[in-house]
């Protein structure tokens, strides 16, 4: 039986997980630079020791209500095949081992574009954990523009 480690966190009181191997570090705070004309889900850019990292607000990405501006949130910084990004989450939980055969995968693509990054569900004793594929989060934010055209 094969298992993997997952980093778990809360967004709008929902449990989510991503593979721990994709997590480069966790930051409790950071100064963001806004990006004009960026996707609504991109909160800004974070300067991480000279590396410019886009910050994706998962509340916005999943169309949840905006977070309380007085509440501290956490940046989960990911490094995947040379691409860096940060997922802004409400609360970091634990790193847990989950057996691959305990994850239920959808039988069809979600008709809701904001849910396309959820690739499975893990049923814990007390909660459901939505398994995320970070590459799908990034792909959904790419705006395709015609070559040579100004948009």
Q: What is the pLDDT of residue 100?
A: 94
Separation of alpha carbons 34 and 31, rounded Å: 10
Q: How many independent structural domains does the chain possess?
A: 1
CATH (domain of 36): 2.40.50.180
What is the β-pairing status of strands 51-57 and 83-89? parallel
For residue 109, the enclosing domain spans 3-139
Examine residue 151 and state whether it is found in any structural domain, yes or no.
no
Instruction: Write the DSSP assignment of 26-58 as a string of letters.
Output: EES---EE--TT--TTEEEEEEETTEEEEEEEH
Examine residue 101 and state whether it is found in any structural domain, yes or no.
yes
Examine residue 68 and state whether it is found in any structural domain, yes or no.
yes
Examine residue 42 and state whether it is found in any structural domain, yes or no.
yes
Examine residue 149 and state whether it is found in any structural domain, yes or no.
no
Examine residue 52 and state whether it is found in any structural domain, yes or no.
yes
pLDDT band (50, 70, 90) for residue 149: very low
Q: What is the pLDDT of residue 67?
A: 92
Task: Give the pLDDT confidence of 64-105 residue by residue, as tens digits.
Answer: 999 998 999 999 999 988 889 999 999 999 999 999 999 999
Examine residue 146 and state whether it is found in any structural domain, yes or no.
no
Question: What tokens does 84 get?
Answer: 């860096």
Q: What is the pLDDT of residue 7?
A: 97
Task: Give the pLDDT confidence of 100-118 residue by residue, as tens digits.
Answer: 999 999 887 766 656 788 9
Task: Give the pLDDT confidence of 27-64 residue by residue, as tens digits.
Answer: 987 789 999 888 889 999 999 999 999 999 999 999 99
Examine residue 24 and state whether it is found in any structural domain, yes or no.
yes
């Amino acid at each position: 039986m094969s298992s993997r480690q997952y980093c778990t966190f809360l967004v709008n009181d929902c449990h989510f997980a991503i593979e721990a191997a994709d997590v480069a570090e966790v930051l409790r705070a950071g100064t963001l630079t806004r990006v004009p004309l960026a996707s609504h889900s991109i909160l800004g850019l974070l300067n991480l020791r000279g590396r410019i990292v886009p910050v994706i607000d998962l509340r916005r990405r999943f169309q949840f209500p905006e977070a309380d501006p007085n509440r501290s949130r956490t940046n989960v910084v990911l490094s995947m095949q040379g691409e860096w990004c940060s997922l802004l989450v409400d609360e970091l939980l634990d790193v847990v081992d989950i057996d691959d055969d305990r994850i239920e995968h959808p039988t069809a693509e979600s008709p809701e574009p904001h849910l396309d990054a959820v690739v499975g569900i893990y049923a814990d004793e007390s909660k459901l954990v939505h398994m995320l594929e970070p590459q799908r989060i990034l792909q959904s934010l790419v705006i395709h523009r015609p070559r040579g055209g100004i948009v």
